[in-house]
Amino acid sequence: MTVAIFVALVIGLLLLRVNVVLVLAVATAYVHLYFASGSELAFLAQDLWFAIDREVLLSIPMFMIAGAVMTRGTIAARLIRVMSALTAPIPGGLAIAAVLSCAVFAAISGSSIVTMLAVGSIMYPALIKEGYGRNFSLGLMCSAGTLGIIIPPSIPMILYGIMTETSITDLFIAGVVPGMLLTFLFCAYALAVNRMKTVRAWDLQEIASSVRHGIWALLMPIILLGGIYTGYYTPTEAAAVSLVYALIVELFIHREMKPREYITVVFETTKLLGTLLPLLAIAGSLNTILDYEGVPKAWAEMVSQVVTDPGAQLAGINILLLVVGCIMDIGSAILILAPLLMPMVHSIGLDPVHFGVVMIMNLEIGYLTPPVGINLFIAMVAFKESFGRIVVSVLPFIALMLFALVLVILIPEIALYAVQAMR
Amino acid sequence: MQKFLRGWQWLESAVAVVAFTLVAGALIVDVMGRELFALFNNIGMYDFAESWLGGVFGAQRFAVHATQIAGMLGFSIVVGTGGHLRPTVVDKLFPDHMDGLVNRVSDLISAGICAGLAWMCWDFMLSTKANHEISMVFQIEIWPFQLILAYVFASAAARYLCYVAMPSARPDTKGGDL
Amino acid sequence: AGAAQAETVWRFGTAAQPGSVLYDVIQKFLGDFNAEFAKDEIKLEFQFVGNEQEMFQQLTRGRLHIGGTSFAGSSVAIPENIITTLPYLWNSDEERIFITDNYVIPVLKEVAATKGAVLIDWGDVGWNDVICNFECRTPDQLKGQKARMSPVSRNFWEAVGANGVQMPLSEFFPGLQQGLVVAGDLPFLYYITTPAAQSAPYYVTTRHLHHGAAWYMNQKLHEGLSDDQRARLEKVLPKPADTRKLVMADEQLPDSPKAKEFVAKGGKIILLTDAERKQWMDLVQPIQQQMVDALAAGPAPRAKDVWNAVLEGRKAFANK
Ligand code: NA
Ligand code: NA
């Protein structure tokens, strides 16, 4: 009965043209009141607060504003001109450049969202402008962004290491080759999809000219990456540094942006964040309820009881992780499930470092799966595309990631060879 | 009333723009302060560096609170611009001539939901205040920071009520298609 | 279905990670509690909450029922707890335990009771020591160097004259790798589980600040227990002395098995002599009074009571 009322309430509100975020708020409040044991409405407010009271949120608006400044000014266009000139002879060259940029950025950022935003806010408009398919470009940016957590450093790997007493250094090393494998697969797919795209031979004059005009723009990624790599600032602080650098270059060097336009850009970002933040906060509350109600725990126990054959258990664990990835954020999933799954992992005989990589690769896919796919939410808002379209756009990339996942499960050496070589 | 709504929107937007600028400013001043400290220390000017330079304690925390304010204000601003996400395909369910009525009912419900959220967040803020919960970094009570939640939902509720009273002020909400 | 419905589920919230002493102590307590309270049809479940401050706030609001945290973690609602983590507050473990148990805990119990929580148990998390990516021994070597500071260790690093950098732990470990910071401070048993043990392998026994552990129960829930239930809860709670013995055995440098494992993997333990430790202490101790005054004037009105309890305890300990 309560379930029926719940469904009727949600559908009724949507039919009456109430915004999704408010419908979600009502739905979550309902869950607190009628489904969660010993819960009350006050806890929803508490969850909202803690969801937005985190340092990790800082880099999201900063990279969004920086990207918008660079797109409204000319840094983005100049960077893209250089990249187009350099990749002219390769079909899908700009898309490959986008993937490689994500991989390089991933090597200094431990977060999927930050990687997607830092690269995507420039590359996505560029891909569209260069005539790449809208769905292809969206899917590419969303999925290449997830490289941020498989190529070290990686915040989820740190969490996994702490929760399972596995060496985080080993996990980082083990992530390198699988990260390169994914990068390779995304590039190969970009090449295959765009193989009919017209290509041009390298034009040395155009390359030289684009570099000359783009020198300040080219310094941008160098300052961003170099500053983090040499210990001047953290990835979070780098977001603010890139914004300030972009503003200085656009306002005082290129002078193709007026100070007034800065206000427009920030106002636009405010609206984006105003759409995104409440969604993330409510998703965070549902996350906490699932955790406190012991849902993922019960599922993990189910897997260990229902199947006993090691192969079937491994398959069961992977399906569990994929399902959990659909509804929970990766941090909570690791905090809850990693210690719970460890006994099973040991009994199957998996190396905990290998399993760590497998777990991250599983949950990485969760960034792209509805209903709770953080990269989908952010892409929807940052790239102004409909949720449905983005969900469809990532499907081929999910297939590629599943393929890579199966490879890493079946051939542990992909993850472990480098670790054993270093030991 | 339209003029009032516009002014209100302008005010919230101005605060948000300033808040975001402060976020970038706080982070940059913190980085610059400590890196200049390191620079002058490395060239043997520790005393100068120690008295004049250094990171700003709490800069990131300050930036988090400014982001909360800017981001949450975005919520009520987007109500004003009709940009919140919703599946517009369902609009065909009611014939065009009923649009006015359905939108008014919708706004009334939305106002109710936002008012409920505002009340809930206000109540939460009061419990924080009653417990004298503090910010570890600033060593001051945390409840004033939590006011922003109650405020934006109240502001959104009031805005929806204005649209119920005066449908012509209502923005087009087809923008945020899901 | 009726019988299953009757069982009440309580949640024990904590940020203690598997492998830590506290985690094992909690697991044992859960087992003992559930055996003892099976007849009351109360079941206590483990609930990991990564953010200690969030955990404590949920406890006072009744979403979690019992919780184990560090004193620093619960200071979000009980800022008086910070007094126990003042740098160089204790001269020895013996003195610390004597003063804590006999003088400090009674005051902290009173303060907790005004915040919706009952302090039901306590113990140790461990000592914070300095870690470096180079061989550092004296505060002079860290003067002007970039060091990661937490809100609790801020005053320590400022007194040392370091270039303090505030960052979350998730950025601290890559930051050490990239040289953004060259030093920081962590408890040994946590440190050895992190990448810091590789990128900053010098562990220096400054023993500058001590983290105590505190267990709380939601006050309304505690008031609702019968006298018999309270006595049985008391019976199954771990004894502070037992918890401490476990933590202090692991912290025994350089001889504990964990310390030996750390050294075998390339870690370096720098044992300071009393004279060397005093160099650090002399910089920091003079500002203790200031820190107490600031807390008392600001968020912790009863900070002075806790401080006076420490002073009184010191006298009693000296006369023992
Ligand atoms: Na990364
Ligand atoms: Na998902």
Q: Which residue of A has its CA nearest to B60?
A: A55
Q: Supply φ then ψ for residue B175, to 5 degrees.
A: -65, -45
pLDDT (0 to 100) of residue A395: 96
Task: Check the CA dihedral B83-B84-B87-B91 and report its sign.
Answer: negative
Judged by DSSP in three states, B52 sits in helix
List, in sequence order, every residue forming a beta bridge with B142; answer none if it has no partner: none
pLDDT tens per residue, range C90-140? 999 999 999 999 999 999 999 999 999 999 999 999 999 999 999 999 999
| ipTM of this complex prediction, to 2 decimal places | 0.91
Asked whether B142 and C298 are in contact (CB, 8 A), the reply is no
Burial of B173 (0-12, 13-18, 19+ CB in 10 A): buried
Asked whether A364 and A112 are in contact (CB, 8 A), the reply is yes
CA distances from A199 to A84, A189, B68, B159, C318 (A): 10, 17, 47, 53, 85
- Tokens representing A234? 């953290």
pTM of the full structure: 0.90
Confidence of residue B178 (pLDDT cuts 50, 70, 90): low
Asked whether C160 and C110 are in contact (CB, 8 A), the reply is no
A57 interaction partners in chain B (CB closer than 8 Å)? 64, 67, 71
- Tokens representing A321? 């992780």
Tens digits of pLDDT across chain A (423 residues)? 788 999 999 999 989 999 989 999 999 999 988 888 778 888 999 999 998 998 878 888 888 888 888 888 888 888 888 888 898 899 999 999 999 999 988 887 778 888 898 889 889 998 998 899 999 999 999 999 999 899 987 888 888 887 887 877 788 889 999 999 999 999 999 999 999 888 888 899 999 999 999 999 889 888 888 888 888 998 888 889 989 999 999 999 998 889 899 999 999 889 988 988 898 888 888 888 888 888 888 888 888 888 888 888 899 999 999 999 888 888 888 988 998 898 888 888 899 999 999 999 999 999 999 888 888 988 888 888 888 899 999 999 999 999 999 999 999 999 999 888 876
Distance from the Cα of A233 to chain C's closest Cα (Å) equals 7
Asked whether C152 and C85 are in contact (CB, 8 A), the reply is yes
C181 interaction partners in chain B (CB closer than 8 Å)? none
Q: Between C48, C63, C171, which is nearest A234 by CB?
A: C171
Q: Tell how far the Cα of A113 is from the centroid of ligand 2, in angstroms.
A: 13
> How large a percentage of chain B has pLDDT more than 90?
69
pLDDT tens per residue, range B46-67? 899 888 898 999 999 999 999 9
Contact C47 A165 (CB under 8 A): no
Distance from the Cα of C241 to chain A's closest Cα (Å) equals 26
Q: In chain C, what is the greatest distance between 2 CA atoms, to the nearest angstrom?
A: 68
pLDDT (0 to 100) of residue C1: 33
CB atoms within 10 A of CB A190: 26
Mean of per-residue pLDDT scores for chain B: 91
pLDDT tens per residue, range C20-31? 889 999 999 999
Q: Which of residues 36-55 of C touch A (CB under 8 A)?
A: 45, 47-48, 50-51, 54
Q: Which of B14, B85, B171, B23 lies closest to A272 in space, CA to CA? A: B85
| Residue B173 DSSP class | -
Residue position matching structure tokens 């907790």: C112
Whether pLDDT at C2 is above 50: no
C175 has a chain A CB within 8 A of its CB: yes
Q: Between A18, A244, A269, which is nearest B20 by CB?
A: A269
Asked whether A262 and A5 are in contact (CB, 8 A), the reply is no
Contact B27 A62 (CB under 8 A): yes
Average pLDDT over residues B31-45: 92
Contact C144 B49 (CB under 8 A): yes
Q: Give the mutation candidate from A69, A237, A271, A378 for the B interface (greatest B CB count, under 10 A).
A: A271
Amino acid at A278: P
CA distances from B71 to A247, A319, A367, C172 (A): 21, 36, 22, 27
Judged by DSSP in three states, B75 sits in helix
Confidence of residue B176 (pLDDT cuts 50, 70, 90): low
Residue position matching structure tokens 């200085």: A248
Distance (Å, whole) CA C316 – CA C320: 6
CB atoms within 10 A of CB B39: 12
pLDDT tens per residue, range B128-142? 999 899 998 898 999
Task: Check the CA dihedral C151-C153-C158-C163 and report its sign.
Answer: negative
Contact A161 C193 (CB under 8 A): yes
- Helices (H) and strands (E) counted in chain A, each on its own, are 23, 0
A171 interaction partners in chain C (CB closer than 8 Å)? none
Q: Tell how far the Cα of B9 is from the centroid of ligand 2, in angstroms.
A: 34
Asked whether C253 and C259 are in contact (CB, 8 A), the reply is yes
CB atoms within 10 A of CB A4: 8
Distance from the Cα of C59 to chain B's closest Cα (Å) equals 12
Asked whether C256 and C192 are in contact (CB, 8 A), the reply is no
Show the DSSP H helices in A107-229 as ranges.
112-129, 134-145, 147-150, 155-164, 168-193, 204-213, 215-229
Q: Could you tell me which residue, A117 or B111, shows the higher pLDDT? A: B111
Asked whether A331 and A337 are in contact (CB, 8 A), the reply is no
pLDDT (0 to 100) of residue C4: 47
Distance (Å, whole) CA C22 – CA B6: 56
Q: Give the mutation candidate from A33, A40, A149, A168 for the C interface (greatest C CB count, under 10 A).
A: A168
CA distances from B45 to A255, B48, B133 (A): 37, 6, 41
Q: Between C11, C51, C195, which is nearest A168 by CB?
A: C195
- Rounded to a whole number, what is the distance in angstroms from the first to the last CA of chain A? 58
pLDDT (0 to 100) of residue A372: 81
pLDDT (0 to 100) of residue C6: 65
Q: Could you tell me which residue, B95 or A404, shows the higher pLDDT? A: A404
> How large a percentage of chain C has pLDDT more than 90?
82
pLDDT tens per residue, range B77-89? 999 998 888 887 7
- Tokens representing A195? 């193989």
